[in-house]
């Protein structure tokens, strides 16, 4: 680990600790809040210095270190990176046959110098995900155009891979054999995959009986030890906190600040794809809220370094049934009150999000919004995204549903450049898709007022005689519809 380059700062009391001193539960010993990674050489310099182009410092001759300075503890931060050189370097790595260059996370490793030996990073070639144009969804939302950054195209099918390659590589560099999380979904899949890739072991804690078998199949495939505990989810988190203090096992829950360093890289990819412009607005699903926090950090660091000249608004959309951040902001409170979470968008079914302070800060600093959407609105939005030829898991679809609301009341203008952040692949939750198209997803009360909108999005599956005539009649009915 690289103490000379990065340190951890508590987001509650601003206490700074060297990485080796952080508690194994990644909570501040003073105030109990979370840490974030900062790079004294550049990340905490005043924003007014952004855009400096003082050039490469040439230290140590390695191609990856030539454009960002080592930290200087002895005086003012005189060095700023050469933004053009960074852009060039990251682009050239697209030609490389090295696995870390082929990773959409480690290709940008100058902005996440958290490893002593980045060449040893544990990677599955995550990142480099597509930024799709979404013409039909744009129309549905009343926008002139719309883009979607699809993090579900990562190796295990969710955005968690970008964070996991970062944090698990830290775990391996620190010599751990075991990693752990409490999760029934995308986090456990990503953790187990990267642990297997590294030749490490992984432990998943879940509440007894609360098993989504589909969601856990990946963790099993990758060889995780999954323990069902006779308690609820919070109980699992508590047991895990004790375990990591008693046994050398590295915690990979979302409190781990290194995960966010990987999860900020989609911001870099978006900016690079737009030739170092940024969109006006980025819309992300709101579950544990680490993703919003990470992307905000990515955009803010890029601007600070002079790679871009602006930061997009970053908005968070929650499901009505799992809306603690929305409720807090709507009520004017400054502390989050956990809720009992209930939504079919399982990836954001989180009532007590660990990263709410970080996310709130990003929303406020960027001028974003927090909105909530119903189950019916989510279902329709997911079907609309599907009709673009792009599948996503239900949680991803809150972004389009939320955008519609922001456009409808004028918070987003039709001419703005908006990017939706899709977090998971459609195959992560096939049953949801099937239930929607068979008409069995929502109860009558949940669907009230949306019956016609849902009916028109449903793909039918008629049973016919085995004749071309029968099929052609259906087809022609389809043409007319």
What residues numbered 59-98 form the site for a copy of itself, per CB under 8 A? Answer: 91, 94-95, 97
Nearer to a copy of itself, 107 or 297 (CB): 107
| Positions in 289-328 near a copy of itself (CB under 8 A) | none
Q: Report in angstroms how near the CB of residue 473 gets to a copy of itself at its nearest.
A: 10
Is residue 462 at the binding interface for a copy of itself, with CB under 8 A as the rule?
yes
Which residue in 235, 320, 416, 446 binds a copy of itself (CB under 8 A)? 235
Interface pattern 124-143 for a copy of itself (x via CB under 8 A): xx--x-x-x---x-------
Q: Report in angstroms how near the CB of residue 288 gets to a copy of itself at its nearest.
A: 21
Which residue in 21, 139, 242, 364 binds a copy of itself (CB under 8 A)? 242
CA dist 107 to 35, 198, 258, 404, Å?
Answer: 24, 19, 16, 34
Which residue in 428, 441, 447, 454 binds a copy of itself (CB under 8 A)? 428
Decide: 244 and 203 in contact? Cβ < 8 Å: no
* Candidate ranges 6-14, 193-201, 282-290, 308-316; the one touching a copy of itself (CB under 8 A): 193-201
Which helix (H) or strand (E) element contains residue 415? none
| Positions in 372-391 near a copy of itself (CB under 8 A) | 382-383, 386-391
| Positions in 151-180 near a copy of itself (CB under 8 A) | 153, 155-157, 177-178
Nearer to a copy of itself, 125 or 405 (CB): 125
Which residue in 434, 439, 448, 451 binds a copy of itself (CB under 8 A)? 434
| Rounded Cα distance, 427 and 158, in Å | 10
Taking phi first (over 0 means left), then psi (-120 to 50 degrees means alpha), and beta for anything else, what does residue 157 get?
A: left
Q: Report in angstroms how near the CB of residue 106 gets to a copy of itself at its nearest.
A: 14
Identify the bridge partners of residue 34 per DSSP, sorted by sequence position: 27
| Rounded Cα distance, 313 and 191, in Å | 30
* Candidate ranges 41-49, 199-207, 289-297, 327-335; the one touching a copy of itself (CB under 8 A): 199-207
* Candidate ranges 24-32, 113-121, 415-423, 462-470; the one touching a copy of itself (CB under 8 A): 462-470
Q: Is 216 exposed, middle or buried (0-12, 13-18, 19+ CB in 10 A)?
A: buried
Checking 171-176 for CB contacts under 8 A at 24+ apart, the result is: 171/200, 171/250, 171/252, 172/120, 172/122, 172/198, 172/200, 173/1, 173/115, 173/116, 173/117, 173/120, 174/1, 174/250, 176/200, 176/248, 176/249, 176/250
Which residue in 81, 421, 433, 454 binds a copy of itself (CB under 8 A)? 433
| Rounded Cα distance, 222 and 270, in Å | 30
| Rounded Cα distance, 34 and 9, in Å | 8
Decide: 379 and 320 in contact? Cβ < 8 Å: no
Q: Report in angstroms how near the CB of residue 262 gets to a copy of itself at its nearest.
A: 16
Nearer to a copy of itself, 114 or 205 (CB): 205
| Positions in 200-229 near a copy of itself (CB under 8 A) | 201, 203, 205, 208, 213-214, 216-229
| Rounded Cα distance, 85 and 91, in Å | 10
Which residue in 86, 146, 196, 381 binds a copy of itself (CB under 8 A)? 196
Handedness of CA 293, 72, 110, 281 (dihedral sign): positive
What is the DSSP secondary structure assignment for residue 19, as one 8-state letter? Answer: G
- Strand 225-229 with 313-319, pairing: unpaired
Q: Report in angstroms how near the CB of residue 166 gets to a copy of itself at its nearest.
A: 15
| Rounded Cα distance, 401 and 382, in Å | 8
Collapsing DSSP to helix, strand or coil, 23 comes out as coil
Nearer to a copy of itself, 157 or 324 (CB): 157
Which residue in 77, 87, 145, 197 binds a copy of itself (CB under 8 A)? 197
Collapsing DSSP to helix, strand or coil, 156 comes out as coil
Binding residues with a copy of itself: total (CB under 8 A): 91
Q: Report in angstroms how near the CB of residue 481 gets to a copy of itself at its nearest.
A: 10
Decide: 105 and 162 in contact? Cβ < 8 Å: yes
| Positions in 244-263 near a copy of itself (CB under 8 A) | 246-247, 249
| Rounded Cα distance, 293 and 297, in Å | 6
Nearer to a copy of itself, 98 or 337 (CB): 98
Which residue in 210, 431, 448, 451 binds a copy of itself (CB under 8 A)? 431
Q: Report in angstroms how near the CB of residue 445 gets to a copy of itself at its nearest.
A: 24
Which residue in 20, 415, 444, 463 binds a copy of itself (CB under 8 A)? 463
Residue 171 CB coordination number (10 Å): 26
Degrees, nearest 5: CA angle 349-212-338: 20
Decide: 145 and 138 in contact? Cβ < 8 Å: yes
């Amino acid at each position: 680990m690289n103490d000379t380059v990065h340190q951890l700062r508590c987001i509650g009391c601003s206490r700074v600790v060297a990485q080796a001193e952080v508690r194994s539960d990644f909570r501040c010993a003073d105030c109990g809040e979370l840490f974030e990674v900062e790079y004294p050489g550049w990340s905490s310099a005043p924003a007014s210095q952004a855009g400096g182009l003082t050039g490469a410092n040439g230290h140590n001759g390695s191609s990856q270190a030539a454009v960002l300075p080592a930290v200087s503890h002895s005086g003012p931060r005189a060095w700023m990176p050469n933004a053009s050189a960074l852009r060039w370097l990251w682009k050239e790595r697209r030609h490389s046959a090295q696995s870390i260059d082929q990773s959409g996370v480690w290709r940008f490793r100058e902005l996440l110098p958290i490893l002593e030996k980045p060449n040893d990073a544990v990677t599955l070639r995550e990142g480099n995900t597509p930024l799709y144009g979404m013409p039909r969804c744009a129309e549905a939302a009343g926008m002139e155009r719309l883009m979607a950054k699809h993090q579900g195209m990562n190796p295990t099918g969710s955005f968690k891979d970008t964070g996991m390659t970062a944090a698990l590589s830290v775990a391996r560099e620190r010599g751990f054999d075991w990693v752990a999380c409490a999760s029934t979904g995308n986090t456990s899949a990503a953790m187990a995959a990267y642990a297997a890739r590294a030749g490490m072991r992984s432990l998943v804690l879940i509440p007894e009986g609360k098993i989504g078998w589909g969601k856990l199949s990946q963790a099993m495939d990758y060889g995780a030890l999954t323990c069902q505990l006779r308690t609820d989810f919070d109980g699992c988190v508590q047991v895990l906190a004790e375990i990591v203090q008693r046994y050398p096992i590295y915690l990979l829950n979302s409190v781990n600040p290194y995960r966010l360093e990987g999860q900020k890289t989609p911001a870099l990819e978006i900016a690079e794809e737009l030739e170092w412009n940024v969109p006006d607005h980025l819309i992300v699903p709101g579950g544990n809220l680490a993703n919003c926090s990470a992307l905000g950090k990515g955009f803010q660091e890029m601007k600070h370094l002079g790679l871009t000249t602006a930061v997009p608004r970053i908005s968070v959309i929650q499901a009505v049934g799992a809306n603690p951040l929305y409720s807090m902001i709507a009520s004017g409170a400054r502390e989050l009150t956990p809720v009992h979470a209930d939504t079919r968008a399982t990836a954001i079914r989180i009532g007590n999000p660990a990263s709410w302070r970080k996310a709130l800060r990003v929303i406020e600093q960027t001028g974003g919004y927090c909105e909530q959407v119903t189950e019916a609105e989510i279902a329709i939005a997911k079907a609309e995204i599907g009709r673009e030829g792009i599948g996503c898991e239900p949680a991803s679809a809150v972004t389009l549903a939320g955008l519609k609301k922001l456009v409808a009341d004028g918070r987003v203008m039709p001419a703005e450049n908006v990017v939706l952040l899709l977090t998971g692949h459609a195959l992560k939750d096939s049953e949801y898709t099937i239930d929607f198209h068979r008409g069995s997803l929502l109860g009558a009360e949940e669907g009230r007022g949306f019956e016609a909108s849902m009916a028109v999005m449903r793909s039918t599956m008629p049973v016919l005689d085995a004749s071309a005539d029968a099929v052609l009649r259906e087809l022609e009915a389809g043409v007319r519809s």
